[in-house]
Structure 1
Amino acid sequence: MDVIKKYLLSPFKNDWKLLLCLSIPALLLGAFGLNQLGRLTTANLLALEGVKLACEFLFLGALLSLLHLLGVKNKWVLAAVAFVYYLTMTADLILLWYFKERFGAKYLNTMEGGDYDFLKDWRVISYFLVLAAFCIFAAKRYFQKSTRKTAISRLAVCLLGLALLYTANPLKLLPRPDNFYTSYLVPPSIVYTVNAVLAKRPQAHQEESLSAPLKELAQEYNVFSAKNTPAGKKYTRVILIASESLSNKYLHRVNGKIPPQASAPLDNLMTAYPSASLQHVTLSTLYGLTVIFTSHPYAQLAYENGYPVSFVKELKKQGFHTAFLRGANETYMDENILFKQAGFDEVIGATYFETRPEYKEYIDWWGLTDRQLFKYAGEYLQEHQKEPLFMTLLTVDSHVPLGRLDYLGQEYEEIDAEFYNIPTLPRAFARFGQDVERFLADLNKRGLFDENTLILVTADHPSYSNTPTNKLFKPYQADFDNLPFIIITKTPIKAPLADNKLISQLDIAPTVLDLLQAEPPSGFFGHSLFDTSARRSIFDIKEDYAVVTTEKENRVFPLNSPDEKDKALIHLMTTFLVK
């Protein structure tokens, strides 16, 4: 006992209160993360918080020791370091809030070009002030200077403790997949972020044929086997509308707390035409659109390798002119370059609209208003009405966190309900529905909605953050986060759609080609929604792990898993079949 006191406890004699105090935010983050990941049970919470506290306490102890060894003994400097540390944790919180993922390498390059006006919001400023006050309180109340000898001893104990936690994490004893999710939330935010940046990434495999083991695995998960049905015809005008962040929870037909009049335009379309509720497999725009275009779950590898598979390329081979129109800046994240690699002849966005006087005045916030984007789309379709045309429209007014703040004088039918007279996502989606209704009327007026026209309405990805409209989404339902998918034609298609919980974004590309009677490439992971008998698998690739779901299993594993079954699945998910 004396040895434990002397070598393990005594180095913390003056600092244990400070370290406990500074560990509290991480415990809150851990509890919030469990809730966001759908794993908040009493057993998981108690297990995670115990290990999280030990990990955070030891990590902060190591940082404190390093500061002492560097000669930093000023309380204000310590408070400033703590504040910067908690900013990293805040990034973790925001990603868990909006995307149910942690902050990592995937999101670092999304920061450039973002709209940071929200930093001026009084709520954000208040949060930073509270955070700063907490850091100052902890430093002034509990910080004490340590000798060099104490700092060295404390550093040694902290590093030893962290090594033991790393090699013998008790959370791994929990049942699957709780063992993964709880362990996933343990590393301090800064450690997780650095590790995500430095981690070795899986590489793409472009194959013309599959090896015997991979072919067997592909058959087991029924991928690379899309086929057409008799549902389609040779449409010559195809319009894919991808609404920013739309999910089922904003539709009255799914969520009864949404006022009927708020989502009536979309609900009416889903009643009149074939529609489906798709599982999402991505959580950001570039990734969502890439999966839609490729029917391949590994979006990052797809766009980093020039889109080895893309239904847009297939349409281009069929003689379609292909155009991508968006309200936001087309150069964001080099998407003007990437989407041309995906097969688009033209990528048009806010940079172009700024050169057009009639549109320039409607550019604000993230970009051109949706109504004006639809207006331009009608003009573009009119100009190209004599040639086969595929167009993707990506809207922007419903961008998180609150949707467009200022509609620049454009009037909408107002919804007399709570949350609809101020900027909120429910209001933004109500107005999106009105814009879609107006767009369809405009196509009719121009004579462009005929028997050769196919219009698809869906979303790039869902949004998870419900602030400040939480009560509209309680009690939570699993299908709230699914994506609507509507197939609009002059004469509604009568063929049934698959009624399967595993239909997903992966099925959009094969559905489009099926509707056009164009042969699907061999590299699709999904199946046409009109193929009602197809077995489906969902491959949801996160920042550094994957979730594979079939009718028989739900498998969660890190992308660097040593398990042989996991490694085989990773090989399958990184394979682009290009024969």
Structure 2
Amino acid sequence: MKTTMYNSGNYYTRKNYRFIDSNPVGLILNLLWVYICYEVCRLCFLFENWNLFSANMSWSTFFHITLGGFRFDTSAIFYTNAIVILLYLFPLHFKETRWFQMLTKWLYIIINSIAIFANLADSVFFEFRKHRSSMALFQEFQGDNNIGGIVGVEIASHWYFVVIAALMIFFLWKCYRFPGTPVKPRKRYYITQIVTLLLIAPIAICGMRGNTFMTATRPISVNYAHKFVTEPIQTGIVLNTPFSMIRTVNQIAVQTPRLFESEEELEAVYSPLHLPSDSLTLRKKNIVIFIVESFAQEFVGALNKDLDNGTYKGYTPFTDSLLQQSLYFDQTFANGGFSIDAIPSVLASIPRMDRPFVLSPHSLNHINSLASELKNMGYSTAFFHGADNESLGFNAFVKQAGVEKYFGKNEFVADSRFGGMKEFDGKWGIWDEPFLQFFCAELSELPQPFMASVFTLSSHHPFAVPEKYKDVFVDEGLHKLHKCIRYADYSIKRFFESARKQPWFDNTIFIITADHASSKRTHDVYMGEVGGFRVPIIIYDPSGELPRGRQPGIMQQMDIMPTMLNYVGYDRPYIAFGKDVLNTPAEETWAFNWDFYPQFFKGDYVMRMENGRDISEIYNYREDPLLKNNLKDKLPGNIQQDMYTEMCAIIQSYMDRMNADNVSVK
């Protein structure tokens, strides 16, 4: 029987009420109409920019991209319609009144009309920017008095988009479903409405995140679009403009120093463009990189022989023994303070610049990386992380970086050789020891030469070790993390025991570093902002071709890429913001990081800026590790000015290149 709406007093209700007429079903249908509009906008976007995508676009490719785009559409739709959802499900009976329901409908139409116009407008401007618009757009056109005229011209020349937008808005208006839940009996009404809201609220939150709390620790970002494409430019099809805008709120690029008026002046001081030297030695060495969770320099006994009056042993007996056969530098630093900073720094020589690269407005840029460049030399590449495959968005970034294979918890569990879910730690992922054995086994399956990296996880809160090791790696009273560091060190030892038996071992360079230092510091020398970035960077070459022992100078995470590329004899130009430490004089080595403020290390000194422009502090961090004595304007000669000039050059070069999407050599 036909169900109709009628106005009973001030209330909307329905004759012959059915479940299909209920508020939840009405809301779902109203959101479904918006999904349809987003997909229409995606098709418009594709056809408007067909010349950019046609070479590598097929129906199967578009279908895969659309499935990926559903995640981003969901996030945008639930964010933009949050107030509509709340009003629609508001657990008070007056929401059934005519004025309230018309208010909700008008908000629904206005909000989604804006989203439609934003998506269609980006279909036009994408050709010029090659990526979806972000909040940086408002900074880019700030003070441009001609923007209104530009928009007017584009509207006139793309009149068909205006027609399409009008048709979609009319579609939303006509298809909108009013809620029609009976308000009597009141007790039943309030119970069902409250229960409905409580059930839909977590679904809405997961929709905004683009994932569930169980599969990922943070919401998806614009960078996550790389997971669903084969070429970076295709991220424009996956994404939608409302999502890109929402996810880049408060991410407008900071004002940075501009000491150099011309590119020539800037590059005379600093350039991230690396050119092959005239005398290259081809060495097709395998490269294996360990990024060990919270593996601070403080924990490595062999790097702290003077601590506790020479009695300090640390928590890493195997790493201590490996260090005696390895190359390492006098001072080594992380380029960021978070796990998501480490992967771009280590694999792509991209530092954190006031925010994580993967969360910045530049995260869709074309980049060079160890993987993308070594591919030109015939290397196979892989990345391993024992957590859920969605965790931290690593799988999206490493795909952007050109890594061919990703191995996470899913792949480990599917391999029956290593214990499957029995090795799940119950919180983050697979225990380090079995996962590193899996890592070793999979390396043996990769075609040589290969470059592979593994990110460990057991030395993370809640600081547990497997049951069978609880009496082996015990809580030593300082912090529970220390027993986890011992377990991580033991797991690396077990990896090397297995790796030494493999035919590829002697032709491999192993690098051990951390994602970041630890907050669980116990010695004064590691307190403060300098100690908070100290991580080991250990380079072990079983063949003995690399020099061994402590070398003078400074090394940072983003030096790994250019150092390794030059060492294996890479013969093409590439972009890397770090340096080749094997061919840079010790006095010219430096490190840079930016957490709360930019810091620049060179020689004995660390310089800080305030507001990203002005020198605030300079310290002799070797003699004054707690940074008590500010030496600003007190250094001899030109040390202060030279450091400031070089620091400004690094920041300006980074921002200029990132803003222009000029951080790769194709």
Query: Partner of 1:463 in structure 2?
Result: 518
Contact 1:362/1:408 (CA < 8 Å) preserved in 2?
no
- 1:517 match: secondary structure: coil
Query: Partner of 2:652 in structure 1?
Result: 571
1: CA distance between counterparts of 2:319 and 2:583?
24
1:281 has 2:335 as partner = yes
- 1:262 match: secondary structure: coil
Map 1:180-579 to 2 at 5 A. Answer: 198=250, 200-201=252-253, 213-221=262-270, 223-225=272-274, 234-255=283-304, 256=307, 260=313, 262-276=315-329, 277-297=331-351, 298=353, 299-300=357-358, 301=360, 304-357=363-416, 358-364=419-425, 365-384=427-446, 386-399=447-460, 401=461, 403=463, 405-409=464-468, 413-414=472-473, 418-419=476-477, 424-450=480-506, 452-466=507-521, 470=522, 473-474=523-524, 476=526, 478=530, 481-495=533-547, 499-519=551-571, 521-533=573-585, 535-542=588-595, 545-551=597-603, 554-559=607-612, 570-574=651-655, 575=657, 576-579=662-665
Query: Partner of 2:127 in structure 1?
Result: none
2: CA distance between counterparts of 1:374 and 1:510?
26
* 1:359 CA drift (Å): 2.1
Cα 1:387/1:527, change in 2 over 3 Å: same
**Which string of whole-angstrom CA distances, capped at 9 and with x for unpartnered residues, describes residues 225-271 of structure 1?**
57669897523422111101111100112334585373221111111
**Which string of whole-angstrom CA distances, capped at 9 and with x for unpartnered residues, describes residues 355-408 of structure 1?**
445221101221101111111112112222x43221101100112x453x1414
Cα 1:479/1:334, change in 2 over 3 Å: closer
State the AA in 2 paired with 1:492: G
* 1:213 CA drift (Å): 2.1
Contact 1:243/1:396 (CA < 8 Å) preserved in 2?
yes
**Unaligned 5+ residue runs, structure 2?**
1-134, 136-207, 218-245, 617-643
* 1:218 CA drift (Å): 3.5
Contact 1:232/1:517 (CA < 8 Å) preserved in 2?
yes
TM-score w.r.t. length of structure 1: 0.56
- 1:446 match: secondary structure: coil
**Which string of whole-angstrom CA distances, capped at 9 and with x for unpartnered residues, describes residues 258-298 of structure 1?**
85373221111111121234211111112111011122224
Cα 1:283/1:479, change in 2 over 3 Å: closer
Q: Supply the RMSD in Å over aligned alpha carbons.
A: 4.1
- 2:290 match: secondary structure: strand
Map 1:60-71 to 2 at 5 A. Answer: none
2: CA distance between counterparts of 1:238 and 1:217?
33
User: Larger relative contact order (C-alpha < 8 A, sep ≥ 6)?
Assistant: 1
2: CA distance between counterparts of 1:199 and 1:342?
22
* 1:498 CA drift (Å): 8.6
2: CA distance between counterparts of 1:480 and 1:282?
10
- 2:555 match: secondary structure: coil
1: CA distance between counterparts of 2:297 and 2:606?
25
1: CA distance between counterparts of 2:424 and 2:321?
30
Contact 1:110/1:333 (CA < 8 Å) preserved in 2?
no
Contact 1:306/1:342 (CA < 8 Å) preserved in 2?
no
Q: Decide which moves more: 241-250 or 533-542.
A: 533-542
Cα 1:374/1:476, change in 2 over 3 Å: closer
Cα 1:572/1:481, change in 2 over 3 Å: closer
- 1:458 match: secondary structure: strand
1: CA distance between counterparts of 2:449 and 2:613?
44
1: CA distance between counterparts of 2:518 and 2:551?
24
Name the larger-Rg structure.
2
State the AA in 1 paired with 2:652: H
State the AA in 1 paired with 2:422: E
Contact 2:476/2:482 (CA < 8 Å) preserved in 1?
no
Contact 2:525/2:531 (CA < 8 Å) preserved in 1?
no
2: CA distance between counterparts of 1:229 and 1:427?
49
Query: Partner of 1:165 in structure 2?
Result: none
**Which string of whole-angstrom CA distances, capped at 9 and with x for unpartnered residues, describes residues 185-238 of structure 1?**
xxxxxxxxx9x953522599xxxxxx9723422332464357669897523422
Cα 1:494/1:293, change in 2 over 3 Å: closer
2: CA distance between counterparts of 1:515 and 1:412?
43
2: CA distance between counterparts of 1:484 and 1:533?
20
Q: Decide which moves more: 258-267 or 272-281.
A: 258-267
Identity %: 19
Q: Decide which moves more: 562-571 or 526-535.
A: 562-571
* 1:349 CA drift (Å): 1.0
Cα 1:529/1:561, change in 2 over 3 Å: closer
Contact 1:221/1:537 (CA < 8 Å) preserved in 2?
no
Contact 2:553/2:589 (CA < 8 Å) preserved in 1?
no
Cα 1:521/1:555, change in 2 over 3 Å: farther
Contact 2:327/2:550 (CA < 8 Å) preserved in 1?
no
Contact 1:225/1:525 (CA < 8 Å) preserved in 2?
no
- 1:360 match: secondary structure: helix
**Which string of whole-angstrom CA distances, capped at 9 and with x for unpartnered residues, describes residues 285-338 of structure 1?**
121110111222243459712451212110122211111011112212332122
Contact 1:398/1:428 (CA < 8 Å) preserved in 2?
yes
- 1:218 match: secondary structure: helix
Cα 1:279/1:307, change in 2 over 3 Å: farther
**Which string of whole-angstrom CA distances, capped at 9 and with x for unpartnered residues, describes residues 525-571 of structure 1?**
2212212416234332336x433444587241335889998987643
1: CA distance between counterparts of 2:332 and 2:459?
19
Contact 2:255/2:612 (CA < 8 Å) preserved in 1?
no
**Which string of whole-angstrom CA distances, capped at 9 and with x for unpartnered residues, describes residues 123-146 of structure 1?**
xxxxxxxxxxxxxxxxxxxxxxxx
- 2:468 match: secondary structure: coil
Cα 1:273/1:314, change in 2 over 3 Å: same
TM-score w.r.t. length of structure 2: 0.50
1: CA distance between counterparts of 2:281 and 2:532?
29
Query: Partner of 1:14 in structure 2?
Result: none
Contact 2:302/2:323 (CA < 8 Å) preserved in 1?
no
2: CA distance between counterparts of 1:268 and 1:562?
41
Aligned length in residues = 377
